Amino acid sequence: MNVSVDGNRFGPAVVETRGLRKTYFGKIDTPVLHGIDIEIRLGEFVAIMGQSGSGKSTLLNILGALDVPTGGRVLIDGVDIATLSENGLAELRNRVVGFVFQFHYLLDELTCLENVLVPIMVRSGDVSAAERERAIRLLERVGLGKQIDKHPDAMSGGENQRCAIIRALANQPKVVLADEPTGNLDSRSGDAVFKMMRELNRESAVAFIMVTHDERLAQEADRILMIEDGLIHEVNKHEQRQRMLDALNDANP
C-alpha cells in the first residue's frame, strides 16, 4: 500500500492506521469505515477522494486525533492514540497536526496575522519575536504580505483560505489535514490555494492529506486514495484520469 513513485523522497510514517473501523452509534448505528490501512509519510502529498458520505471527513478527523476509532489502531507520529488521555490527544494534535477546512474559520475580530498566531498562543501561552517573524514570512510567502493587518471580512475567500493554511502551519506540524480546502472557492482561487499548499509541501517535509472532489487537483498529488464502501484503495492516477475523460465523453457525446 505504501508505494509511491519515488519512495525515497519521503520520510518516516507520520500517520498510520491498521484495520481502522468507525461506527457512529445512535438510535441507528452508522458503520462508516470497515478496516482502513494506510501509511502516510513525511513529505508526501496525498489526495483522498470518494463520494459524499463515504467517510472522508470521518477518516481525516481520526487521523488528526479529533475523533477516535471504534476499532483498529491509529498511530500519529508513532504514538498509538489509544494510549493517550484527552490531554495527551490535545497535546499531540497541537504538536503534530494542522487543520484546514472547507470554511476558513478565521476569527473576524482578529487580523490575519493574529489569526495565524492563535495556535501558538494556545500551545505555549505566548508568541516569541521569532515565531511572529516566521508567521509574517510565511504570509508574505503566500502573497499576503499586504494583508497581515486586515480582518477576514476585508479579504477575499482565497486570501482567507491562504491565511488559514498558514495558521495550520503555525506550530510547525508534521502533517496538514485539509478537508475540501478549495471546495468553497471558485476554480481560479481554488487552483491558487492548491498550488500554494503543494509548494509549501515541496519546500518542507510537511505531509499534506487533502480531501477533494476535484479530479484535476488530485492528479497533482503524489498519490490518490479512494474511499469506497468503507474501505480505501490506492488509485492508479493514469487509470483515474482515463475514467474521468470517459465520463466527460459520456456526458458530452
The residues of the shown chain that bind ligand ADP, judged by CB under 6 A, are 24, 26, 30, 32, 50, 52-58
Contacting positions for Mg ion (CB under 5 A):
56-57
Least distance (Å) between residue 209 CB and Mg ion: 13
Look at the block and give the residue holding cell 502551519.
169
Q: Distances from the Cα of 194 to the Cαs of 38, 45, 86, 198, in angstroms? A: 23, 11, 33, 6
Q: How far is 73 from 20, CA to CA, in rounded Å?
A: 6
125 binds, among ligand ADP, Mg ion, none (CB under 5 to 8 A by kind): none
CB 105 within 8 A of CB 187: no
Minimum separation from the CB atom of position 26 to ligand ADP (A): 6
CB of residue 228 vs ligand ADP: minimum separation in angstroms? 11
Beta bridge partners of 30: 24
Task: From 16, 47, 25, select the one nearest 224 (Cα to Cα).
Answer: 47
| Nearest distance, CB of residue 73 and ligand ADP, angstroms | 19
Cβ proximity to ligand ADP: between 26 and 125 the closer is 26
Which of Mg ion, ligand ADP, none has residue 253 at its interface (CB below 5 to 8 Å by kind)?
none
Residue 52: contacted member of Mg ion, ligand ADP, none (CB under 5 to 8 Å, by partner type): ligand ADP
Residue 105 interacting partner from Mg ion, ligand ADP, none (CB closer than 5 to 8 Å by kind): none
**Residue 182 touches which member of Mg ion, ligand ADP, none, C-beta under 5-8 Å by kind:** none
Residue whose CB is less far from Mg ion, 41 or 56: 56
- Tell me the three cell numbers of residue 137: 514570512
Please identify, using beta-carbon distances, which residue of 57 and 189 lies nearer to Mg ion.
57
The residue assigned the cell 509574517 is: 136
Strands 79-80 and 71-76: antiparallel
Q: Burial level of 87, CB count in 10 A (0-12/13-18/19+)?
A: exposed
